[in-house]
């Protein structure tokens, strides 16, 4: 089946990284032929960066308004979509973290217009990927849409992001350690398409973050820059593969199961997938102790107490993860069905 499925590899047209990079946004929009835009962000992000972007756009002759996002769900996507339709904007600008960018990405796809990804925190590989995670009631849907037309990373904001967001972004990258192994397993067992090049890109990103997990202690700016490059590389890997396979495997299924069972949890996406990576690396027979040490070095939650999710939820999530979506992973090999099995695994990796 290697060459039977055809997909178009779409990647971002422009990427700008550096201090004061947000000043380049009007030029990006001009080059894209966009003269009217809608800024998609949260209240805090609008105060932090959105207002400045809006003023700069207007100063450069580009119409700009904004839509405030509360949650990454279809209600908020609909709100953005409606406002963009009424105002007849030609492009969206998602500013902030994964929530805002995913809503902008999904609304832009529905509107069939381009969007820019303008992260203010390095917490999520969605800043460069065609993938979006949107809630439909209790269930989080993983959508494969379009990559951003442009990515603007202003290091003035990201280098000042709290450590927790940096660590969560690193957690999302080290998840590729198990995601690629799951993808290889699906090729072996189900003859699923496996893109070696995309897999290598994701694996390299994970290796670099693992090897440099302590860099932030000595040079935070340099560590953030390295993380941003890894996150963007992961986005490209997904575009090349035509799916989220290089970056999302059993560890993400575990995180999504937590969200389904315990939607009120306050853990960041990268924190949950990092914990999932620890579990799945053990099940895959990989160096789970290395992952455990990396999690500790990055000051990510290492157990149920630190991540503030009840033991029983984590046990149920490990059982349910295999059924969250149709994606062959190590969980289809081990088939955890009993509470006692799940507890034994979680105890083995010192999560409970």
Digitized pLDDT (tens) for each residue of the chain, 352 residues in all: 455 667 788 888 899 999 999 999 999 999 999 999 999 999 999 999 999 999 999 999 999 999 999 999 999 999 999 999 999 999 999 999 989 999 999 999 999 999 999 999 999 898 999 999 898 887 778 899 999 999 999 999 999 999 999 999 999 999 999 999 999 999 999 999 999 999 999 999 999 999 999 999 999 999 999 999 999 999 999 999 999 999 999 999 999 999 999 999 999 999 999 999 999 999 999 999 999 999 999 999 999 999 999 999 999 999 999 999 999 999 999 999 999 999 999 999 999 9
- pLDDT for position 104: 97
- Asked if CATH classification 3.20.20.70 holds for the domain at 14-158, the reply, yes or no, is no
Q: What is the CATH number of domain 163-348?
A: 1.20.1090.10
| pTM > 0.85: yes or no | yes
CB 37 within 8 A of CB 92: yes
- pLDDT for position 124: 87
| Residues belonging to the chain | 352
Q: What span, in angstroms and rounded, lies between the C-alpha atoms of 176 and 252?
A: 10
Q: What span, in angstroms and rounded, lies between the C-alpha atoms of 138 and 263?
A: 7
List, in sequence order, every residue forming a beta bridge with 39; answer none if it has no partner. 66, 93
Instruction: Determine the number of helices (DSSP H) and then strands (DSSP E) in the chain.
Output: 17, 8
**What does the domain layout of the chain look like in residue ranges?**
14-158, 163-348
DSSP string for 82-98: HHHHHHT-SEEEEEESH
Q: What span, in angstroms and rounded, lies between the C-alpha atoms of 240 and 7?
A: 9
Residues 80-115: b if buried by 16+ CB within 10 A, e if exposed: bbebbeeeebbbbbbbbbbbbbbbbbbbbbebebbb
Q: What span, in angstroms and rounded, lies between the C-alpha atoms of 351 and 311?
A: 9
Contacts of 152 (CB under 8 A, 6+ apart): 15, 16, 21, 22, 24, 25, 28, 116, 117, 118
- pLDDT for position 186: 98
List, in sequence order, every residue forming a beta bridge with 144; answer none if it has no partner. 131
């Amino acid at each position: 089946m290697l060459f039977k499925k055809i997909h178009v590899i779409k990647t971002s047209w422009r990427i700008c990284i550096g201090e004061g990079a947000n000043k380049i946004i009007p030029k990006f929009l001009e080059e894209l032929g966009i003269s009217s835009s809608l800024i998609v962000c949260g209240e805090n992000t609008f105060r932090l960066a959105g207002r400045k972007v809006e003023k700069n756009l207007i100063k450069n002759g580009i119409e700009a308004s904004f839509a405030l996002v509360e949650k990454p769900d279809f209600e908020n996507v609909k709100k953005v979509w409606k406002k963009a339709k009424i105002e007849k904007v030609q492009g969206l600008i998602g500013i902030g973290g994964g929530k805002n960018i995913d809503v902008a990405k999904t609304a832009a796809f529905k509107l069939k217009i381009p969007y820019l990804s303008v992260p203010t925190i390095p917490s999520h590989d969605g800043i460069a990927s065609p993938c979006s995670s949107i809630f439909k009631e209790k269930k989080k849907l993983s959508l494969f849409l379009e990559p951003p037309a442009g990515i603007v990373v202003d290091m003035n904001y990201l280098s000042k992001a709290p450590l927790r967001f940096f660590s969560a972004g690193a957690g999302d990258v080290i998840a590729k350690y198990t995601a690629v192994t799951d993808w290889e397993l699906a090729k072996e067992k189900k003859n699923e398409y496996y893109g070696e090049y995309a897999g290598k890109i994701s694996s390299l990103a994970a290796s670099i973050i693992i090897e440099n997990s302590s860099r932030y202690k000595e040079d935070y700016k340099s560590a953030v820059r390295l993380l941003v490059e890894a996150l963007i590389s992961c986005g490209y890997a997904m575009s090349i593969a035509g799916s989220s396979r290089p970056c999302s495997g059993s560890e993400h299924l575990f995180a999504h199961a937590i969200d389904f069972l315990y939607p009120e949890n306050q853990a960041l996406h990268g924190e949950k997938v990092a914990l999932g990576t620890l579990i799945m690396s053990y099940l895959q027979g990989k160096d789970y102790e290395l992952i455990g040490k990396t999690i500790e070095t990055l000051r990510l939650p290492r157990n149920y107490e630190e991540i503030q999710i009840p033991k029983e939820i984590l046990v149920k999530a490990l059982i349910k993860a295999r059924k969250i979506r149709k994606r062959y992973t190590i969980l289809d090999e081990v088939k955890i069905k009993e509470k006692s099995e799940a507890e034994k695994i979680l105890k083995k990796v010192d999560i409970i």
